[in-house]
A and B are shown apart, each in its own frame.
Chain A
Amino acid sequence: MVFAIIIFILLFTSIISGYKSYSILQAERNLAQHHAEEDFHSQPDRHPHRVAHYGSYAFRPKSALSFLDAGLDPYTGTMVYLEAHQQNSANFSQAQQSNTLIRIGEMTMAFVMQWLMPLLIIFLCFNAFTQERENGTLKLLMSQGISIQQIAKGKIMGFSLLITIVIFPAFLIAILTSLVINNEPWNFDTALRLFTMLLSYAAYFFIFITGSVLISSLCKQSKTALIALLGCWIFFCVVIPKLTVSLGDALFQTPSKAAMDAAIHRQAKNGINGHDDQDKRTKEFTEKLLKKYGVDSASQLPVNLGGLVMAEGEAFSSKLYQKHFDELVNTYEKQNNISKWSGFLNPYQSIRAISMSMAGSDFRHYVTFLNAAESYRFKLAQHLNHLQAYKLANKAKDTRLDKSEYNHYPEFSYNPPTFWQVLFPSLISIFALYIWALGIYILCITILKNISIL
């Protein structure tokens, strides 16, 4: 009972604190994004290439449900500076800006549900059988013709009901809070995400309940059952996740940003195969252009050569960057896949993956944002290069373009992946979780059929 109250209080505080930090961060980013747009739109007349260097910013919006599970958000950059010629890193992650001594999680609902709830369940269930055995009431029950299986089923049902009672109000509060956060009318996508979370957490708790009842039935003493269960918890929730992650890191190496940028620069300069350098590409491009317009010198062109050459260069280097970036992401996914697949050994890792992907704070959501930012950067740079090409033909280098030409450029906006897009990659984890739930239930029933419990 005491534990139930503690958990309820923790759930409640975690939702409040999750909401609080969500709103602070979201407000910071909204404000910054707003300022950045205002700055962009109030530029004076400028040469388009000046505007391209002035650039733009992408601030990563917090997803609506991230107040329930901050996931990777504290470790991802919040701001990308988008300028011509170069792809900047996402900067100012929360983790870089605070002194995190104990890196175990944020005070969000996910932390309580994934980490602390299993402990509550263990504390509740460890003596489910052992106590009855120690008090001699087990014999009494059996003598009334109730099979051990029935007792176990009853206990699992009872505990599941109890946990539901503890969790339900918290989830209700969570849903209400998410209604407040979504300024727009509550959409179906969010509902599906919440629903998937709910079903997954239910399976997760069921695994721990059944597992605890099983261990309790196998142990002679409450003490032994408790120690065994706590050992499992430490192993699953503390040790294995770190082990798999450090293993992934050791197995798959990634280049430093400096090395990656240098490789891109080298390839852009010398051509991908080393035979097709930048000067040669520019020369060929110019000749093609002269031919197309039927003139013999750049000054006779009806377009601005510099702008078109830059657009070519931007397209070439951006493609290179994207290739390297995709490789990098690919390596990260390989690293992370070790954790994903170990979900079949460890339900904690499955629930963590499902929960943050539903909350919109997992790796995939982050990469989607980075790609959206890069694609916006590329389009903006090309838009400005084309303005230079077609509006500033045969003009001096320092000619300024009227600001009305570019200051209506649409601002950065980002569409997070939809529920269905994130559901598919999460299926492995969901599958692993349900295999566990089903497997442990069947195991429990089979073992208890063939056991003499007294």
Chain B
Amino acid sequence: MIKQFRTLTYFEWLNFRSERSMLLFAMLILLSGLYGIYSGSSLINNQKSKLEALDKLYQENIAEMKQKFPADADAGDIGYYHSTFAKNLPDNWAKLSIGQRDVAPSYLKLRLLAVQNQLYASENTNPFKLSVGSFDLAFVFVFLLPLFIISISFNVLSSEREQGTLALVLSFPVKLSTFLLAKLTFRFIVVAVIVFTLSITGWLWADVVIDARALTWLMAILLYALFWFSVSFAIIAIKRNSAFNAVSLLGIWLLLVVIFPVLAKTYSEVKIPVDEGLAISLKQRQEVHSGWDKPRAETMKRFFQRYPQFKDTTSVEGAFKWKWYFAFQELGDASVESLFENYMQKLTTRAALSANLDMLSPAAKLQQTINGISGTGFQAQLDFLLASKNYHERLKKFYYPFLFKNLPFTHDDFASEPQMSFRSKADDLQIFNGLIAMMGATVIAILAGLIIYKSSNNILE
């Protein structure tokens, strides 16, 4: 039995070498994979060089401040005119799966002013490019790998029958199931070799840290490949002709890879509309600018409730004082705090809803898993948003003592300004959830295949 299996696999290898179409498909997937690695890397490298250039802009801005305020400055002037950057540095893994990184900005320019007016700024982007999406290695695995698997396995039985060789094979003491299993196993090995080749090339090219993530990566993709082999098996088990198999498998691909995720996304957006973002902007502006019209003492009183440590500060009446200005900026942010929480909550709920609906699509789950590995998922985007907000808190902690204790801001103080660079970590929850969903789908597909195989007619009839 084992020997038979080995012989059959060996003959498949001979067959593979002589059959041009299968080789051609293998070459195509390899080439697209290589292009995916190149194009994903170039996108992330581009982001990296833009992020590096920010340091120069930051230094230029400080030089300008020093020129503008040659002696000790009022920290309020610095808070108003000086800007710093919250940077979302990509991990090299991001080169293999861009995820949300092209849609969400990779940095935020921040001043000491009300943060809620600064958190949602966008980067220069070409929406046409975004709408088509990036051609990264993840795309090759999620979209094209199933098509490759389908194209090399849809006719393993039907073509033998259509050529009349199946009867010949079965006239030997070989069971149909062994024959089929050997053929599919051989093809799985081919796919595994391609996956290994592309992944390792990708890791080396992208210069990633090869750790547990690499193992998870391979596991996820091979599991996904196994799922598609199981689906192919289920369709082959119906024992109809090649055209039927091709149409059905492509139909399933379309449903699982394209239609379900699109429907899930559309449904979650219609079901949970999020307009808090617009509301935050409007309300915050209203609150901040009304600061000019309200009695100064009242503003300061409300501010001291949040920062009692500064309540002994000198009076803000009379000529314009920056600390009063920053006090009502602070109150503007405070007024939308609950809206902001709602906003984040809703975004999370909406993402969770679409992730749950995506249970129907192993393709979406693979994408979720490798986005999780690369730290480029939606959660990473939200984490960066929160981290930027925290960074602004740190800036306030740094500047407020200068402002409210009337300390002069010297040129040396720039050196101790807090800095921030965020680097998202692998998202274990997303990875785990994605792997479980794919496993479930694979088990279901195998069981369905076995049931169909048992109940369908003899192949030669």
Bound Cα distance A366, B129 (Å): 14
Tell me the chain A residues, 258-304 only, with Cβ under 8 Å from chain B.
258-262, 266
Contact between chains at A223 and B254 (CB < 8 Å): no
Residue of B nearest to A332 (CB): B126
Q: Given A226-B246, A249-B43, verify A258-B107 contact (CB < 8 Å).
A: yes
Q: Does B169 contact A (CB under 8 A)?
A: no
Bound Cα distance A239, B32 (Å): 9
Residue of B nearest to A262 (CB): B57
Contact between chains at B103 and A75 (CB < 8 Å): yes
* Residues of chain A contacted by B268 (CB below 8 angstroms): 98
Binary CB contact string for chain A from 228 to 256 against chain B (1 if under 8 A, 0 otherwise): 00100010001101110110111001111
Q: Does A139 contact B (CB under 8 A)?
A: no
* Residues of chain B contacted by A245 (CB below 8 angstroms): 128-129, 132-133, 135
19 more contacts with CB within 8 A, not counting A101-B265, A245-B133, are: A28-B278, A53-B289, A79-B278, A81-B117, A91-B277, A92-B120, A94-B269, A99-B100, A99-B377, A101-B368, A101-B371, A102-B257, A104-B133, A104-B262, A238-B143, A241-B132, A245-B132, A246-B43, A328-B124
Contact between chains at B39 and A21 (CB < 8 Å): no
Q: Does B355 contact A (CB under 8 A)?
A: yes
* Residues of chain A contacted by B61 (CB below 8 angstroms): 262
Q: Does A319 contact B (CB under 8 A)?
A: no
* Residues of chain A contacted by B159 (CB below 8 angstroms): 223
* Residues of chain A contacted by B274 (CB below 8 angstroms): 97
Contact between chains at A335 and B262 (CB < 8 Å): no
Q: Given A96-B104, A99-B378, verify A256-B50 contact (CB < 8 Å).
A: yes
Contact between chains at B270 and A99 (CB < 8 Å): no
What's the minimum C-beta distance from B291 to chain A, rounded to whole angstroms?
Answer: 10
Contact between chains at A230 and B134 (CB < 8 Å): no
Contact between chains at A250 and B122 (CB < 8 Å): no
Q: Which of B191-199, B223-231, B331-339, B346-354 contacts A (4 or more CB under 8 A)?
A: B346-354
Q: Given A102-B257, A254-B126, A259-B53, verify A223-B35 contact (CB < 8 Å).
A: no
* Residues of chain B contacted by A35 (CB below 8 angstroms): 282
* Residues of chain A contacted by B120 (CB below 8 angstroms): 91-92
Contact between chains at B151 and A72 (CB < 8 Å): no
Residue of A nearest to B139 (CB): A242
Contact between chains at A249 and B117 (CB < 8 Å): no
Binary CB contact string for chain B from 141 to 156 against chain A (1 if under 8 A, 0 otherwise): 0111001000100010
Q: Which of A105-113, A171-179, A415-423, A430-438 contacts B (4 or more CB under 8 A)?
A: A105-113
Residue of A nearest to B289 (CB): A54
Q: Does A169 contact B (CB under 8 A)?
A: no
Q: Which 7 A-B pairs give the minimum distances between C-beta atoms?
A: A99-B378, A102-B261, A103-B133, A99-B351, A75-B127, A75-B130, A107-B266
Contact between chains at A95 and B103 (CB < 8 Å): yes
Q: Does A127 contact B (CB under 8 A)?
A: yes
Q: Given A223-B242, A248-B129, verify A105-B60 contact (CB < 8 Å).
A: no
Q: Does A375 contact B (CB under 8 A)?
A: no
**CB-defined A-B contacts under 8 Å, sample of 6:** A32-B278, A55-B285, A75-B130, A100-B265, A234-B147, A259-B57
Bound Cα distance A134, B124 (Å): 57
Residue of A nearest to B290 (CB): A44
Binary CB contact string for chain A from 350 to 394 against chain B (1 if under 8 A, 0 otherwise): 000000000000110010000000000000000000000000000
Tell me the chain B residues, 236-281 only, with Cβ under 8 Å from chain A.
241-243, 246-247, 250, 254, 257-259, 261-263, 265-270, 273-275, 277-279, 281
* Residues of chain A contacted by B117 (CB below 8 angstroms): 81
* Residues of chain A contacted by B364 (CB below 8 angstroms): 101-102
Residue of A nearest to B108 (CB): A258
Q: Given A36-B282, A50-B292, A99-B354, verify A336-B128 contact (CB < 8 Å).
A: yes
Residue of B nearest to A102 (CB): B261
Bound Cα distance A441, B113 (Å): 64
Q: Given A116-B254, A230-B250, A242-B139, verify A77-B122 contact (CB < 8 Å).
A: yes
Contact between chains at B135 and A223 (CB < 8 Å): no
Contact between chains at A256 and B53 (CB < 8 Å): yes
Bound Cα distance A259, B268 (Å): 36
Q: Does A89 contact B (CB under 8 A)?
A: yes
Residue of A nearest to B143 (CB): A238
* Residues of chain A contacted by B53 (CB below 8 angstroms): 256, 259
Q: Does B358 contact A (CB under 8 A)?
A: yes
Contact between chains at B266 and A57 (CB < 8 Å): no
Bound Cα distance A10, B107 (Å): 40
Q: Does B175 contact A (CB under 8 A)?
A: no
Contact between chains at A257 and B243 (CB < 8 Å): no
Contact between chains at B39 and A54 (CB < 8 Å): no
**Partner pick for B258 among A20, A50, A104, A266, CB 8 A cutoff:** A104
* Residues of chain A contacted by B293 (CB below 8 angstroms): 44, 46
Q: Does B123 contact A (CB under 8 A)?
A: yes
* Residues of chain B contacted by A246 (CB below 8 angstroms): 39, 43, 134-135
Tell me the chain A residues, 55-101 only, with Cβ under 8 Å from chain B.
55, 57, 59, 71-72, 74-79, 81, 88-101
Q: Does B131 contact A (CB under 8 A)?
A: yes
